[in-house]
């Protein structure tokens, strides 16, 4: 039982006079100290605090809920593709804060746009006080998103964008059931969590929302259906079977990532997305494509659906949309979007004008050669990673699009059972490789349903020599680990 005892460390808020001095480290800045001894304590601790990595991490231990990962690199400062920690170490960032800072950390144009909006006003609730920045971003998204996607709802994160998209699909179709992909990821709030196809994220958190079923992902490397042979897109046909066996026929939506991110950078075969859309429509549902991780240039097109010539009915976005300022959106054609009536949905902070100003600048920056860079560097990266597959038995598969690449690590001695399609995943090796990369000053993601995929998702501004460093860092890490 938690006791109700008062917190002995609780301190009054410093007076304005004292607060003014908190960051003043000059010798004679003692004004106001005697007036407030608790605030004086704050001044002293802040003055003496030149944080090192350990200080930051130990405060996290004490004051931040313990959900963060051990493969951490504290950030004091970040610029383009380089982050610096509190001990003065520099790292090449090949993960972009989970695929977010697509136009580079602290991109000047984005920072300037946000600052300029800050000078005007920060908040008015964009659903109470219409403002020019949100209006402009809505119009801009209608221009840059595919097909007839035209009207957006702005929120603050990916999970909210997904949940809003589900609400809209339900409202528009009048149906309830939703189908998502096994191993897919759509967020961690309870609605999105129900769609996320990974029990590891759900343990001890259920029940989530009802009426969700899952279908096999287009995971060629471990596909039981085509058994490593010619891909017949059988996984798309599976949708038909799952609708028939797992639903009551009241289909509101099918939601998919066009390239699966957290599941392990899984690129579907040609024709898969079109077929999924077709089957979904045949059953009266809407196709929601979750571009939270793949959007804003990540795959070498502004949106990943552009690779597959498929226009979704609703598209969720977040992460790269404002290059790090918290913003999410879902966008639909007018005839679907207009199913929402006033009061059906809202968010106090959603469409914050500072974040929206940053998004407008991000889109401008992306259209200034950065998406092309992602495409070109991605082609080179894909070729380089393929050579690792030949060089190392532990590299089972490499795959990706643009600057979203995965390297799947396996135990080459396994997989001998006739039922095995591929060798067993090796998450321990992946963890060690991540640590060895960090020791070389390279931040890379580790992910995948089996936690055995090394993720290349750098800022899309990355230069060839930096990418080269990342690839040779991985090669060195692999050599050391298997020696
Ligand atoms: N959808 C996808 C495809 C994602 O990759 C993520 C985050 N990794 C989310 C939704 C959830 O986004 P957020 O963490 O901003 O809620």
Residue partners of 469: CB distance under 8 A and separation at least 6: 92, 442
Judged by DSSP in three states, 348 sits in coil
pLDDT of residue 18: 54
Kindly tell me if the per-residue pLDDT of 433 is higher than 60. Answer: yes
Cα 348 from Cα 456, distance rounded (Å):
35
Q: Choose between 167 and 208: higher pLDDT.
A: 167
Q: Is 214 in the pocket of ligand 1 (CB under 6 A)?
A: no
Cα 304 from Cα 242, distance rounded (Å):
25
Confidence of residue 34 (pLDDT cuts 50, 70, 90): very low
| pLDDT digit string, tens, across residues 225-241 | 876 667 888 999 999 99
> Which residue is closest in CA terms to ligand 1's atom 12?
158
Q: Is 292 in the pocket of ligand 1 (CB under 6 A)?
A: yes
Task: Among 9-13, 54-58, 113-117, 184-188, name the one with the lowest average pLDDT.
Answer: 9-13
pLDDT of residue 177: 98
Which has the closest alpha carbon to 320: 68, 75, 84, 104? 104
| pLDDT digit string, tens, across residues 310-352 | 999 999 999 999 999 999 999 999 999 999 999 999 999 999 9
Q: Choose between 33 and 291: higher pLDDT.
A: 291
pLDDT of residue 16: 57
Report how far apart, in Å, the C-alpha atoms of 428 and of each of 105, 327, 383, 408 are.
Answer: 30, 34, 26, 12
Confidence of residue 8 (pLDDT cuts 50, 70, 90): confident
Question: DSSP strand E in 94-226: where?
Answer: 151-155, 177-181, 212-215
Cα 296 from Cα 305, distance rounded (Å):
11
Residue 291 CA, closest ligand 1 atom number: 3
| pLDDT digit string, tens, across residues 170-218 | 999 999 999 999 999 999 999 999 999 999 999 999 888 889 999 999 9
pLDDT of residue 5: 82
Q: What is the mean pLDDT of the chain?
A: 92
Q: Which two tokens stand for residue 14?
A: 């410093």
How much distance in Å is there from the Cα of 294 to the middle of ligand 1?
10
Residue 160 CA, closest ligand 1 atom number: 16
According to DSSP, the β-strands at 82-84 and 177-181 are unpaired
Confidence of residue 421 (pLDDT cuts 50, 70, 90): confident
Residue 260 CA, closest ligand 1 atom number: 3
According to DSSP, the β-strands at 442-443 and 424-425 are unpaired
- Tokens 């610096």 correspond to 84
Q: Which fold has domain 108-367?
A: 3.40.640
* pTM of the complete model: 0.93
Judged by DSSP in three states, 153 sits in strand
Report how far apart, in Å, the C-alpha atoms of 65 and of each of 59, 60, 61 are.
Answer: 11, 8, 8
């Amino acid at each position: 039982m938690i006791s109700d005892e008062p917190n002995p460390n609780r301190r009054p808020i410093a007076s304005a006079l004292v607060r003014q001095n908190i960051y003043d480290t000059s010798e004679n800045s003692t004004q106001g100290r005697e007036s407030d001894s608790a605030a004086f304590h704050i001044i002293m601790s802040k003055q003496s605090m030149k944080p090192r990595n350990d200080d930051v991490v130990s405060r996290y231990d004490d004051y931040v809920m313990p959900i963060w990962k051990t493969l951490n690199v504290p950030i004091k400062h970040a610029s383009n593709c380089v982050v610096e920690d509190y001990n003065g170490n520099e790292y090449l960032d090949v993960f972009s804060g989970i695929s977010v800072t697509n136009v580079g950390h602290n991109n000047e144009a984005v920072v300037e746009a946000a600052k300029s909006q800050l000078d005007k006003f920060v908040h008015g609730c964009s659903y109470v006080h219409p403002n020019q920045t949100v209006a402009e971003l809505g119009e801009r998204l209608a221009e840059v998103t595919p097909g007839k996607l035209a009207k957006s709802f702005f929120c603050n994160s990916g999970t909210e964008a997904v949940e809003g998209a589900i609400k809209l699909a339900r409202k528009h179709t009048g149906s309830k059931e939703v189908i998502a992909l096994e191993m897919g990821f759509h967020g961690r709030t309870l609605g999105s969590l129900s769609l996320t196809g990974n029990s590891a994220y759900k343990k001890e958190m259920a029940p989530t929302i009802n009426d969700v079923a899952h279908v096999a992902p287009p995971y060629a490397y471990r596909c039981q259906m085509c058994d490593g042979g010619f891909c017949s897109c059988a996984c798309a046909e599976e949708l038909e079977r799952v609708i028939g066996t797992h639903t009551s026929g009241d289909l509101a939506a099918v939601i998919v990532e066009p390239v699966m991110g957290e599941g392990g950078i899984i690129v579907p075969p040609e024709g898969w997305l079109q077929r999924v859309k077709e089957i979904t429509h045949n059953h009266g549902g809407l196709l929601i494509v979750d571009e939270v991780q793949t959007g804003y240039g990540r795959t070498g097109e502004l949106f990943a659906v552009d690779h597959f010539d498929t226009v979704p009915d609703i598209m969720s976005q977040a992460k790269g949309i404002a290059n790090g300022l918290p913003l999410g959106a879902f966008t639909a054609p007018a005839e679907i979007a207009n199913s929402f009536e006033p009061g059906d949905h809202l968010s106090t902070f959603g469409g914050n004008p500072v974040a929206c100003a940053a998004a407008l600048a991000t889109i401008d920056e992306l259209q200034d050669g950065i998406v092309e860079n992602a495409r070109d560097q991605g082609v080179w990266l894909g070729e380089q990673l393929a050579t690792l597959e030949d060089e190392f038995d532990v590299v089972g598969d490499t795959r990706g699009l643009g600057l979203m690449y995965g390297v799947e690590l396996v135990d080459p001695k396994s997989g001998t059972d006739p039922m095995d399609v591929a060798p067993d995943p090796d998450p321990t090796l992946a963890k060690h490789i991540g640590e060895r990369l960090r020791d070389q000053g390279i931040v890379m993601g580790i992910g995948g349903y089996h936690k055995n995929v090394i993720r290349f998702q750098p800022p899309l501004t990355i230069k060839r020599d930096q990418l080269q460093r990342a690839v040779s860092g991985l090669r060195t890490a692999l050599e050391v680990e298997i020696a």
